[in-house]
Chains A and B, each alone.
Chain A
Amino acid sequence: MNPRDRLPVSRWTLRFCLLGGGIAWTLHLVGAWAIAEFGILGGFAGVNTLILVLSAAMLLAAGAATLVSAHVRRAAGPENHEDARTVAFCGRFGIVTNAVFTVIIAAQTVPVFYFLDQ
């Protein structure tokens, strides 16, 4: 039997659980900065709106990664098996990590509201 078959979730689900929030945060930061830098200097009027839309999308992505992590944790089932324990660990790790990235994205979005009327 292929050892991979023992995992209760797919490899892609596990990867999203481990890295989803981090990637969403990266895209948010780079995207928001690029919009701010290029948009403001380029004279584009809708900078704030665009950043808010991007932030909402990335918040959703990081939130989805948190939910998927919770699913991974549940799918691991009773931890009487090393693979199940490992998957459960990944789930717990993903829940905390992705939740933290969700909070960071939200925190980084707050300053945009300060600049909304400018």
Chain B
Amino acid sequence: MKTADDAQLAAFDARWRSPRGWLGFFTEVNNQQLGVRFMVTSLIFFAIGGFLALLMRIQLTVPENDFMGPQLYNELFTLHGSTMMFLFAVPFLEGLALYVLPLMIGSRDVAFPRLTAFSYWTYLFGGLIFYASLLTGTPPDAGWFAYTPLSGPGFAGLGMDFWVMGLALVEIAGLAAGVEIVVTILKLRAPGMSLRRLPMLAWTLLVSGAMMIFAFSVLLVATLLLELDRAAGFAFFDPDRGGSSLLWQHLFWFFGHPEVYIMFLPATGIVSTLVTTAARRPLAAYPLVAMAVVVTGFVSFGLWMHHMYATGLPELGLSFFAAASLMIGVASGIQIFAWIATLWGSRPRITVPFLYVLGFFFNFVLGGFTGVMVAVVPFDWQVHDTFFIVAHFHYVLIGGVVFPVFAALHYWLPKVTGRLQNERLGRWGFWLNFAGCNLTFFPMHIMGFLGLARRVYTYPEELQIGGYNIVSTLGAFLMAAGFVAIVVDLLRSVRRGPAAGDNPWDTGTLDGSMSSPPPIYSFLRPPVVRSREPLWGPVKHKAGEPALEEEALSERASAALHAAPSDWRATLATDAITGRPSGVQVLAEPSLSPLLSALGLTLAFVGVLLKSYLLIPLGLVLAVSFLARWMYPSSDYNRKVYSSGLAERSGLPVLLEGARSCSWWGMLCFVGIAGSAFVALFFCYFYLWLFAESWPPPDAAPPDPLRGAIAHAPLLLAAGAAWLAKRRLAAPGFSAARGPLLLLSAALAFTVLQLGLGSFELATLPFSPRDHSYGSSVWVMLMVVLTFSLTAALLLACSLARARRIEPWDLTPLRLQLQLTTMFVLLTALAAAGTYAVVHLAPRLL
């Protein structure tokens, strides 16, 4: 006989279950499903990238080999590097984060489920566009770093455009994933999970997510500028017209070096988790390790120039970066010593995942040592373009990232599939990979010293390195065999593996408390956390301790959410620092909008590739329309949540605003993205100015300051009006919408006025963006301000439409919307003021 509890559970399950069939596939927003899709897709790209590497190794096995020509070799190393860096490593870790994070921090889903779906689709479409370059007959051949002028219009064919646009989509996916990860960790932790109880994997993902926000936005700017050079004849990277090839290197490596740590930090989080589990004791020196992770995140942004030692930069500048490059080794060293201290005296179970951790220690330490060597400027000058560097970064990336990724695969796969893998096959996979990695890459150090140049398709017999290359190729095939063993084990275990049980590794983190595979909603009743390893023993509080009072609050909130009506999805939101429950976060439901908006964006990018100027606006309109549809909350839904009684039962607000809401934090991240992009544009302007013979060029007068002031000032007024509207709406006892309505209307009118005046100024600029890098810079900055203005106008129009009719349940969502809109309008005003100062005033004042 079914009980009331069973019926409630069935209804709850139905509410969270993914829709069935094809429609369900395309509307999926659940973190577990999308996490698996991310991981599977990235592993497919990994297999393709690995296959390309094997072809290159065959070519290099013997001197003066004619297995392939130089052009094909260039294309292969470009595709291989780009695939591994952009399509495999980061997306795999994003997928792992999406799957594991909510289980580990006690949440039912991630903060923005539809953004997750959008991120997946843009990643997939970006990868497909990237590989579609093979169909053009001129695949990209300028390396994964795409140095200009090799990647510019004078040297690279249409395939490079596919590279740029595909990469831009992948960057957008990465930015979305970064926001998702940061906000989820800050806001959706289980009650009681304060910062000091955060699992180390979550610390690393938090820092890595924040790094993605700043690094990917700069790369997005760089790739879009490159495409403007290629498709529209702009001059950012063309020295003949005042551009600079080194500018590309600065922008690219400002992303490129943190990118290594964006991958490496989560890998260290995986290692910390596995070491703790294997030793069955808490991580030693937890606060120091957390500190090391944060320091690594910061300092990694200060290393970009150590990729540019050989470009002739001022020695004083190089010295800062050499010092930073050496200092980051200290932070990594702290982590290594903490792992050793954790394992010291314990009797770790040598399982397959732990074998990969041991392999990580060996390979990564070796890669780290050579990293310290190449941080020394004169040494780097000697080996810069040799195979020594190839050996170094493969030890870091394979030892430091791929081995932990394989460890994670073995460790969490039983959780995903509910089945254990074959230990014997797993050990074969490990030893093949370990031996293969060292056989492939260790000889490259020696070959580099002997003078083997990188990125060159062959070498003369006189170098006498044929033997090393044969060993290296043999190692590459061993690694391939190791990967095949992992895949076979994976597929075999899904069908025939023994049942894994809930906690096959006896881990102390919350993911071990779930069944394998976990329910689609993860936690029916959100857990209350009392220690850093909740499954290894809660802290006992003495009677009368204030801690008990906090727990009572958490238990009440958790029980109320458990008993909540099942016709909407929700999870507990907590304070970012203390982990106290701060509200109930309503979560988005399945929708086609993320797919359609990603499709719209892809169409616009394809329009750029095909130079189809109808497709570009069509795609953009499609993308914006579905974005608006996905984000526009329904009043009926708000009413349902408002009248559910959950607020009274849990003692927490259910419709959130301000810093309690995930959306507020999401907008803060977006401001970080947009701000970084603007700073990158300002940097471009001043950098080009520095190297220009005259700035502006003699035949181009700078824009008139008075006209510029008139064109930009309305945005300051709009920001003021929006801010006042927000204040009025937040005032206690607010009942009539009249005041905010008038202020919002004024803000909208000012923004539209700026759009008109700004467009007129842009259209009547006395120079062309194609003549000189000065014109290109000015044009792009003014254009970006206009794009921000347009977005602000759309947001204000939405707020205005909603403010016209306010029901009691709509008031809090409207306040939130106005807070977010105001934040964006303020950012736009700030960007406009900065642009005005740089474009209109700086050339006259400096």
Contacts and interface: CB of A to CB of B under 8 A. Distances in A.
Contacts of B321: 33
Interface stretch (B160-168, B430-438, B577-585): B577-585
Given A80-B546, A89-B287, A96-B288, A107 B327 contact: yes
Given A25-B299, A97-B295, A111 B319 contact: yes
Most chain-A Cβ atoms within 10 A of its Cβ — which of B192, B320, B326?
A: B320
Contact of A108 (B195, B196, B315, B320): B320
Main secondary structure of the interface of A (DSSP, over half): helix
A7 B326 CA distance: 38
Given A36-B314, A36-B316, A3 B575 contact: yes
B503 to A, nearest CB: 26
Given A38-B686, A89-B287, A93-B291, A82 B547 contact: yes
Contacts of A3: 575, 578, 580, 582
Nearest to A40: B314
A22 B298 contact: yes
B592 interface: no
Contact of A90 (B330, B575, B577, B582): B577
Interface in B300-325: 301-302, 305, 313-317, 319-324
B4 interface: no
Interface in B327-372: 327, 330-331
A60 to B, nearest CB: 18
B320 A32 contact: yes
A29 B320 CA distance: 7
B196 A110 contact: no
B818 interface: no
Contact of B314 (A22, A29, A37, A89): A37
Contacts of B288: 96
Nearest to B297: A22
Nearest to A51: B316
A106 B671 CA distance: 32
B691 interface: yes
B320 A33 contact: yes
B545 A36 contact: no
A6 B550 CA distance: 11
A82 B690 contact: no
B196 A41 contact: no
Main secondary structure of the interface of B (DSSP, over half): helix
Contacts of B686: 38
B196 A89 contact: yes
Contacts of A14: 577
Contact of A26 (B196, B298, B322, B691): B298
Contacts of B151: none
A16 interface: no
Contacts of A82: 192, 194, 546-547, 550, 578-579
A104 B324 contact: yes
A83 B578 contact: yes
Given A40-B314, A111-B323, A80 B295 contact: no
Nearest to B574: A3
Interface string B571-596: 00001011110100000000000000
Contacts of B320: 29, 32-33, 36, 108, 111
Interface residues of A, number: 43
Given A96-B287, A110-B323, A33 B305 contact: yes
A67 interface: no
A81 B544 CA distance: 11
Contact of B298 (A25, A40, A86): A25
A22 B578 CA distance: 22
B315 A93 contact: no
A12 interface: no
B194 A25 contact: no
Contacts of B194: 82-83, 85-86, 89
Contacts of A89: 194-196, 287
B396 interface: no
B668 to A, nearest CB: 13
A99 B5 CA distance: 54
A86 B295 CA distance: 20
Nearest to A100: B295
Contacts of B331: 100
Nearest to A108: B323
Nearest to A84: B546
Interface string B651-694: 00000000000000000000000000000000000100011000
A104 B327 contact: yes
Most chain-B Cβ atoms within 10 A of its Cβ — which of A40, A47, A110?
A: A40
Nearest to B317: A36
A75 interface: no
B820 interface: no
Interface string B525-565: 00000000000000000000111001000000000000000
Contact of B316 (A26, A93, A97, A115): A115
Nearest to A81: B546
Contacts of A112: 316, 319
A108 B324 contact: yes
A37 B312 CA distance: 11
A92 interface: yes
Contacts of A51: 316
A111 B324 CA distance: 12
B290 interface: yes
Contacts of B314: 36-37, 40-41
A26 B301 contact: yes
A45 B301 CA distance: 28
B260 interface: no
Interface in A54-95: 80-83, 85-86, 89-90, 92-93
Contacts of B690: 37-38, 41-42
B588 to A, nearest CB: 26
Contacts of B580: 3, 83
A73 to B, nearest CB: 11
B499 interface: no
B294 interface: yes
A97 B294 contact: yes
A55 to B, nearest CB: 10
Nearest to B298: A22
17 contacts: A4-B575, A36-B314, A41-B691, A80-B547, A81-B547, A82-B550, A83-B580, A86-B194, A89-B196, A97-B295, A100-B330, A100-B331, A104-B299, A108-B320, A110-B323, A115-B315, A115-B316
6 closest A-B pairs by beta carbon, nearest first, are A111-B319, A89-B196, A86-B194, A36-B317, A22-B298, A29-B302
Interface of B: 192, 194-196, 287-288, 290-291, 294-295, 298-299, 301-302, 305, 313-317, 319-324, 326-327, 330-331, 545-547, 550, 575, 577-580, 582, 686, 690-691
Given A7-B577, A96-B287, 17 more contacts: A7-B578, A26-B298, A29-B302, A36-B317, A37-B313, A82-B192, A82-B194, A85-B196, A90-B196, A93-B291, A96-B291, A104-B299, A104-B323, A108-B323, A108-B327, A110-B323, A115-B316
